Amino acid sequence: MNRQPSTPTPWPPRGISGWIIRCAVPSTLTPQHEGFRTHVGLLQGIVSMVINLLLLVIKGAIGLWLGSVALIADAMHSLADIGSSLVIVLGFIWARKPRDREHPYGHGRVELITALVVAVLLIVLALEFARVGVARILAPRPLDPSNWVLFTLAGTIFLKQWVAWFCRILAQATSSTALAADYWHHVADVLSSLLVVLALVAARLGWAGADGWAGLLIAVFIFYTAIQTARAAISPLLGEAPSPDEVRRIKAAAHQVRGVRNVHDLMLHTYGEDRVISLHIEVDADQSALQVHDLAEQVEAAVEQQIGGKAIVHVDPVDRTHPHYRAAQDLLETVVADHAQVAEFHDLRVAGSGERLTLSVDVVAAAGTREAAYPDIAARVQAAIKRTLPPGASVEVTVETPYHF
């Protein structure tokens, strides 16, 4: 689900949300500063816990008084919200722990684990609400809520909507997966609370089964939110490919350094606020080791300055002056265009001449290609190249897995 609200919000925002943020977050701490995510995550968690505690008391008291399954379920939802907010708070605190011997990349992914824990709690809660809702549908109970009850519950909806807006602002400012998941969680809460009010109105008009149906639908809301939250957490934990825009920006930063002829084997690993960027660059082979080393450091500095994180550059010297290089390059471009299972090639090296001619190249398999097909791809590319080379020439083709698309 990793859906971040897309409309940018000025920082700090105006109104009550801005006032709370200005009181809790130091004015010197902006979204660009280290530690900002921790402050904001703690703030969101504390505000959410306070509001949900208030909602738990209000909904729980009224629900027990009326005997409404839907309202009691909604109150327990608020209790689950308190637990999930506590998990998020602990996750942000843990994520800022210094690097140690066992975790040299830090603890930033704890934020994703906390989001996954929240999802599991919500799934358990949804199943319980579904069970109680079905029982009430099979054995309906008449309800007659008074006007003050309905108006009070309507007020809790507006309060919960403000919490969702507040979380949305903080999710935008931090690009946090956990806060984004919590935002959609609050949206589902607003919808479920609205459903409870409508069910009570229906029950007041004589439809006794409305309370049970509302409880069942709330369970569906919670379950859907839990699944989306789990997906948003699991995907980056498994290792997501960088977005096309991130790939474009990283390559553009590397190509700004004079002497970089090609960029490939780009990998991006994210650990909370920290990112590790690994890439290979092709350079002309007629340079000294010192020159190549300096060029690699320039690329690392350019990528780190423009993209952020830690950049690691591997250098591949390539001799483009060989008489057969240009013809081999043109041939491989044709091979890539003609073979759907080949996405690109790099590290093309040509040496020797005649029967002693040797050619080696790395080709990248297209997305979705099974590794079992790699030997066949290598054989077909090798055969296509050999047809254009002198008899006896040696051709080596290596097929690589794509790490970005």
* DSSP string across 97-109: SPP-SS-TT-STT
Q: Which residue has the tokens 């609205």?
A: 194
User: According to CATH, where is 3.30.70.1350 located in the chain?
Assistant: 244-318, 325-400
Write the pLDDT tens digit of every residue in 63-112: 888 888 778 877 877 877 787 777 777 767 776 677 667 766 666 677 67
Does residue 391 register a pLDDT over 60? yes
98 upstream amide cis, omega within 30 of 0: no
Fold for the domain defined by 325-400: Alpha-Beta Plaits (3.30.70)
Does residue 216 register a pLDDT over 90? no
Q: What is the mean pLDDT of residues 360-389?
A: 89
At 387, the pLDDT band (50, 70, 90 cuts) reads confident
Q: Are 328 and 364 in contact (CB under 8 A)?
A: no
Q: Are 216 and 133 in contact (CB under 8 A)?
A: yes
More confident residue, 364 or 216: 364
Q: Which residue has the tokens 């703030």?
A: 43
More confident residue, 372 or 79: 372
Does residue 7 register a pLDDT over 60? no
Q: Which of 231, 221, 233, 230 is nearest to 77 (CA)?
A: 221
Q: Which residue has the tokens 């979705």?
A: 368
Domain 244-318 grouped into CATH 3.30.70.1350: yes
In this prediction the pTM is 0.59
Does residue 246 register a pLDDT over 60? yes
At 405, the pLDDT band (50, 70, 90 cuts) reads low
Q: What is the mean pLDDT of residues 302-311?
A: 88
At 282, the pLDDT band (50, 70, 90 cuts) reads very high
Distance CA 70, CA 311 (A): 53
At 4, the pLDDT band (50, 70, 90 cuts) reads very low
The CATH number corresponding to 15-238 among 3.50.50.60, 3.60.110.10, 1.20.1510.10, 1.10.150.20 equals 1.20.1510.10
Does residue 12 register a pLDDT over 70? no
User: According to CATH, where is 1.20.1510.10 located in the chain?
Assistant: 15-238
- The pLDDT score that the predictor gives to residue 18 is 74
Percent of the chain with pLDDT strictly greater than 70: 89
At 138, the pLDDT band (50, 70, 90 cuts) reads confident
- The pLDDT score that the predictor gives to residue 3 is 44
Distance CA 269, CA 92 (A): 19
- The pLDDT score that the predictor gives to residue 31 is 61
> Highest-confidence range of 67-76, 161-170, 310-319, by mean pLDDT?
310-319
Q: In the structure encoding, which two tokens stand for residue 164, read together?
A: 């969702």
- The pLDDT score that the predictor gives to residue 250 is 92
